[in-house]
Structure 1
Amino acid sequence: MRVVASSLAARDVEGARRGLVLSLTDDEGRVGLGEATPLPGFSPDTADEDERALTELPGGLGAIDLQVEDVTATASAIRRAIAPLSPRLRGLPAARFALETALLDLVGQRLGLPVSACLGGHRRDAEVQVNGLLTTSIALPEMLGRARALVARGVRAIKVKLRSRGAEGFARDLEALRALRREHPAIELRLDANAAWSLEEAPGRLALLAPLAPRFVEQPVAPELLHLLGARDVPWAADESLAVEGMPERLLEAEGCAAFILKPAMLGLLRAHELGGRAQERGLGAVVTHLFDGPVALAASCELALALPRPPLACGLDAHAGLSAWPEIPIPQLREGGSIAASRRPGLGIRPWTA
């Protein structure tokens, strides 16, 4: 298979954020889609950088050698085709995500298989739960109301972002979490500190959170320090640390690490799939999550969750308010009631695309 044409459509999403949709056409006229929508202040790349790279790159792609009898070799074939472009993609994970997604979409259409199958882990009847998302930056009555709405939808895991800062802020967050736990004693509770705690204060805060029985706390300390935290009263999970060179290998061996949080928009689709498989091999959990991006990226992230060797934990793949800034395109992997499932369509299953 060879890519013979490409195009790029840009879209203003919200504020200073822009999304890019890459379209690749193969030598039989099929069109594969990918998306790069970096999040300002969080992503290492910008939409301008991704746009320049994605405009220049497709002409340098090599041919993709498809072996229909061995679909597990598809990811390796795509890596070989992209290899000449790797220097230009360094530091641009959203651009890499878009390019890899568009190629997998093409391959899936060509083989008549969903992207998850092309990654080698597709389970036809698989279903993955999604987790709900709350934040302590809103008033407690509103937070509890949103939690009730999530539970009524069938969501069984809720992640709470701890937005307050300082000792007083943590005390307020702790009281809010206690109220949430009293009202929903059976819900799976996850917390996200967004790397805001120091290595010295994290053990004490984790001990205070232990009576609430959270499954884990995501990224309690700075990305480059997480492997030093060790086993604590509450397990912890790696998020931003996975983008630090050499850190995933350290975390796979670290005591206390319970899960890898996989954001393909921050890692690339193939790298996220690789890290998820390695985490599961070591007995760690895996969670796939979007970056509040558009429908193409969300569909690709859903396919990643369905492609992991074993079912992941409930994933951060619920529909979000930011999708309203994009064309209203059905995302075939999303299901009512808080889950995603195989679409049974080739590639991403998104057709057509209107910029």
Structure 2
Amino acid sequence: MRVVDARLAPRVLDGARRGLVLALTDDDGRVGLGEATPLPGFSPDTADEGQRALAELPGALGAIDLPAEGAATALAIQRALAPLSSRLRDLPAARFALETALLDLVSQRLGLSMSACLGGHGRYAEVQVNGLLTTSAALPEMLERARALAARGIRAIKVKLRSRGEEGFTRDLEALRALRREHPGVELRLDANAAWSLGEARRRLASLAPLGPRFVEQPVAPELLHHLGAQDVPWAADESLALEGMPERLLEAEGCAAFILKPAMLGLLGAHALASRAQARGLDAVVTHLFDGPIALAASCELALALPRPPLACGLDAHAGLEAWPELRIPQLREGGLIAASEQPGLGVRPWTD
């Protein structure tokens, strides 16, 4: 298979954020889609850097040897991208777009869903999504939002702890107690967004233990997480996974319960490989978006369906940022807080015509 044409469509979103849609055409006329939408202040790369790379690199791709079966697809794409690795090393969003578009093409040619190409046949059919709340909202608003999530059938809720200082943590703790009283059976996850010191994390995790959270994401700064150790509440790694050498440390770290995988930060194939390693060590995996657009969200859903064993409920629910994009059906998102593979070969998303 050869890529004979590459087109890039920039999109201006809300504020300073920009998205890039990559469309690759193969020698049979099929079109594979990818998306790069770096999040300013969070992503290590920018939309300008991604645009320059994606305008140049697809033309440097050689022939891609099609695998005989879907399970070898990732290796075929890795080999095809190997000559471009130095250019893509610090551009995870661009890598995500290029890997997604190539995997979409190969999956279409093989007549398989993207998840089947990544993970092979015989995978699980569905993955639940988790809901998202934040303590920056007033308590009545937060509880009303939780009721709406429960009414949709969502059984896992992640709460971002936005308050700062001891008084702020006390307020967050009271809000979480109210949430737990009203929803005693929900799976509760918390996210400290790397805001605590090691000492604060140890004290606060002990205070949170009576609420029974599944884990607390990224309690401390990315470079410190492997020093936290086993605590009263398990913890999960998010931003730390993007640091060189840190995933290896965290695979061995006591207290680490899960890896939170953002393909927009790790690349599609990198996130799949890291999730596979984590699950092999007995850790849980959660796939989540970076408030991406519809193509990247669809690709992240396919990734969640392609892991060696089912992930926990994933952060792949529709989000408000999608309103900045043209309306596009994401076939993986289903009613009842579920995602399932597209019923079409490849990603199953077709581009809009504006």
TM-score (norm 1): 0.98
Q: Give the total of aligned pairs.
A: 354
Match of 2:349 in 1: 350
Match of 2:208 in 1: 209
**Map 1:176-191 → 2, pairs under 5 A:** 176-191=175-190
Quick check: 1:23–1:31 contact (8 Å CA) kept in 2?
yes
Match of 2:231 in 1: 232
Match of 2:22 in 1: 22
RMSD over equivalenced CA pairs, Å: 1.0
Structure 1 CA distance for aligned equivalents of residues 278 and 212 of structure 2: 22
Structure 1 CA distance for aligned equivalents of residues 89 and 124 of structure 2: 36
Q: Are 1:49 and 2:49 matched, yes or no?
A: yes
Structure 2 CA distance for aligned equivalents of residues 327 and 213 of structure 1: 40
Task: State the SS of the aligned residue for 2:4.
Answer: strand
Quick check: 1:35–1:294 contact (8 Å CA) kept in 2?
yes
Structure 1 CA distance for aligned equivalents of residues 293 and 345 of structure 2: 20
Dislocated runs of 4+, deviation >2 Å = 120-125, 352-355
Per-residue Cα deviation, 1:138-188 (whole angstroms, up to 9, x for no partner): 100000000000000000000000001111111111110000001000000
Structure 2 CA distance for aligned equivalents of residues 175 and 154 of structure 1: 25
% identical equivalent positions? 83
Per-residue Cα deviation, 1:239-294 (whole angstroms, up to 9, x for no partner): 00000000001100100000000000000000000000011101100000001111
Structure 2 CA distance for aligned equivalents of residues 160 and 215 of structure 1: 12
Q: Displacement of 1:344 after TM fit?
A: 2.2
Q: How has the CA–CA distance of structure 1 residues 12 and 198 changed in structure 2, closer, same or farther, with 3 Å as cutoff?
A: same
Match of 2:116 in 1: 117
Q: Displacement of 1:343 after TM fit?
A: 1.6
Structure 2 CA distance for aligned equivalents of residues 174 and 63 of structure 1: 56
Q: Displacement of 1:123 after TM fit?
A: 4.2
**Map 1:267-306 → 2, pairs under 5 A:** 267-306=266-305
Q: Displacement of 1:353 after TM fit?
A: 3.2
Quick check: 1:121–1:308 contact (8 Å CA) kept in 2?
no
Match of 2:167 in 1: 168
Q: Displacement of 1:223 after TM fit?
A: 0.5
Structure 1 CA distance for aligned equivalents of residues 166 and 189 of structure 2: 20
Quick check: 1:122–1:306 contact (8 Å CA) kept in 2?
no
Structure 1 CA distance for aligned equivalents of residues 160 and 223 of structure 2: 20
Gaps of 5+ in 1: none
Q: Displacement of 1:62 after TM fit?
A: 2.1
Q: Displacement of 1:352 after TM fit?
A: 3.3
Structure 1 CA distance for aligned equivalents of residues 284 and 6 of structure 2: 37
Match of 2:64 in 1: 64
Q: Displacement of 1:122 after TM fit?
A: 4.8
Task: State the SS of the aligned residue for 2:350.
Answer: coil
2:2 alignment partner AA: R
Structure 1 CA distance for aligned equivalents of residues 325 and 353 of structure 2: 9
Quick check: 1:122–1:307 contact (8 Å CA) kept in 2?
no
Structure 2 CA distance for aligned equivalents of residues 216 and 122 of structure 1: 31
Q: Displacement of 1:67 after TM fit?
A: 2.1
Task: State the SS of the aligned residue for 2:199.
Answer: coil
1:251 alignment partner AA: L
Structure 1 CA distance for aligned equivalents of residues 22 and 328 of structure 2: 16
Q: How has the CA–CA distance of structure 1 residues 328 and 123 changed in structure 2, closer, same or farther, with 3 Å as cutoff?
A: farther
TM-score (norm 2): 0.98
Task: State the SS of the aligned residue for 1:307.
Answer: coil
